[in-house]
Amino acid sequence: MIGQQIINGVTLGSVYAMVAVALTLSIGVLNFLNFSIPGLFMIGGMALWALLDAGIPWPLAVVGALVIAVAASLMVERFTWRWLRGAPHFVPLVSSMAFLLLFEHIAIAYWGSDMRVVPEAFSGGDWRIAGLVIGIPQLMGLLCSIALVAGLSWLLASTRTGRALRTIAEDPDTALLLGVDINRVVSVVFIVAGLFTALAGILFAINYRQVHPFMGEAVGLKGISAMIIGGMGNIWGSIVGGLIIGTTEVFAISYFGADFVDLAVFGLLLAILILRPTGLFRGMQPVRFGI
């Protein structure tokens, strides 16, 4: 049924959208493509499983997974951006990629490379409306995506921290002359990116109930694709791009099989790049970040 496939696509797309927002925030403020983000996604999902496996209740396990992922994100900030800020642009990028490999192999060392099954969060929690099945985790994932992006847009547009972030995005030297504490503000970027990415990993684990050390790699590629489709630097565009990628993937599996997923997704990305190189929404917003 087409309606059910759309629901499944939106659910998956909301995960991609949150990863895309984290990437958009990093590249929009710092001009830095943070390759550790797929590792933070994996940390969110696997830390949730590990805490649940240790007998921690669900609410505390979710909070604990978020805290672990944010701590990992701040470690990336300390040893990629802050420590290597004066180095050529490719050096922090390569360093962040090294953190991705580090996170994955730490997970393998502790938990092995096998697929792990996450316990069911909501037993009997599906809603049936007009023949469509809507799971509570699915609805929760979509609402979390929208609420967090709305909150981020408000933060960027209406707060002192948001103004500092936009100033750094436009000209870091000017921000420094204006008295902006760049280290503190950049830490906010990594905290927010870590929260978005880890929550995406947690929602993925709750919805699909499977985690493993390499779960972030494919999602990271889809998140980058969503960011490009929506328009580099446009937060709401990243949401739209994520939903488009997720829906395309689900329909490709439904009609052509799993072997055609990457062909459909990356073919769509290539087509959009040819027809509109700036993405769907980049040229339509006069203000940076699309707010």
pLDDT in tens, 10-23: 888 989 999 999 99
Taking every pair of C-alpha atoms in the chain, what is the biggest distance, in angstroms? 60
* pLDDT tier for residue 67 given thresholds of 50, 70 and 90: very high
Q: Which residue has the higher pLDDT, 74 or 154?
A: 74
Domain 2-284 = CATH 1.10.3470? yes
Say whether pLDDT at 121 is over 90. no
Domain ranges of the chain: 2-284
Question: Mean pLDDT highest for which of 28-32, 119-123, 164-168?
Answer: 28-32
131-140 contacts, C-beta under 8 A, 24 or more apart: 131/1, 131/3, 132/1, 132/3, 132/4, 132/7, 133/4, 133/7, 134/7, 135/11, 135/207, 137/203, 137/206, 137/207, 138/7, 138/8, 138/10, 138/11, 138/207, 140/203, 140/206
Say whether pLDDT at 283 is over 60. no
> Which distant-in-sequence residues (6+ apart) come within 8 Å of 108 by Cβ?
213
The token duo for 107 is 């997970």
State the pLDDT at residue 126. 64
Say whether pLDDT at 289 is over 60. no
* pLDDT tier for residue 288 given thresholds of 50, 70 and 90: very low
* pLDDT tier for residue 54 given thresholds of 50, 70 and 90: very high
